Amino acid sequence: MKNIPFLDTWLKRRAPARGTAVVAPGGDSDTEGLAELLAECELLRVRAGDAGLELDDSPASLDALDQLTPRWRDDPEELPWLGNDAGLYLGTVIVRTVPGAVWQLWPSGQPVVRLASGREINVVEFGLDWAVNGAPELSQVYAEVSEL
């Protein structure tokens, strides 16, 4: 592809995508498969492992993530991806430990966690805020959600 300077400049100014969209083939609802897919969070697991933290899908691991030095903020290209993974990891912990919590896909493909009460939590948004600003802490969001 030919280098087009004005297009390169325009692309660099565009805001990075905020989150993950998931498309289920044929409309089948395979909640177990969806949960496995969303639980991968590969970048977050690698960065946590680099810091000596193994993510075990427990509420305690959210607290440990909150304590990490946010070195990912030095890489603007990695930041949205890590935030997305943080949100998916938060959702994974909620789904695995809060009774009645399940993954749900909005019509746009955005994965959210639906609580037994019917409330939907946009965990990816929380993860992105955590990665960029450090707040709210993932453990704090979990504590609030688990009390609902």
Report if residue 25 sits inside a domain: no
Report if residue 6 sits inside a domain: no
Beta bridge partners of 103: 113
The answer to whether 85 touches 43, Cβ cutoff 8 Å, is yes
Q: How many domains does one find in the chain? A: 1
Q: Determine the pLDDT at residue 26.
A: 44
- What number is the average pLDDT over the span 18-28? 46
Per-residue pLDDT tens for 33-61? Answer: 888 999 999 999 999 999 999 999 999 99
Residue 148 pLDDT grade (very low, low, confident, very high; cuts 50, 70, 90): confident
Report if residue 4 sits inside a domain: no
Per-residue pLDDT tens for 130-147? Answer: 999 999 999 999 999 998
Report if residue 51 sits inside a domain: yes
Report if residue 96 sits inside a domain: yes
Per-residue pLDDT tens for 77-133? Answer: 999 999 999 999 999 999 999 999 999 999 999 999 999 999 999 999 999 999 999
Report if residue 110 sits inside a domain: yes
Q: pTM for this one?
A: 0.80
Residue 29 pLDDT grade (very low, low, confident, very high; cuts 50, 70, 90): low
Q: Tokens 């990912």 sit at which residue?
A: 72
The CA distance from 35 to 112, in Å, is 11
CATH number at residue 87: 1.20.120
Q: Determine the pLDDT at residue 21.
A: 45
Report if residue 103 sits inside a domain: yes
Kindly state the DSSP code that residue 147 receives in the 8-state scheme. T
Residue 41 belongs to domain spanning: 30-146
Report if residue 84 sits inside a domain: yes
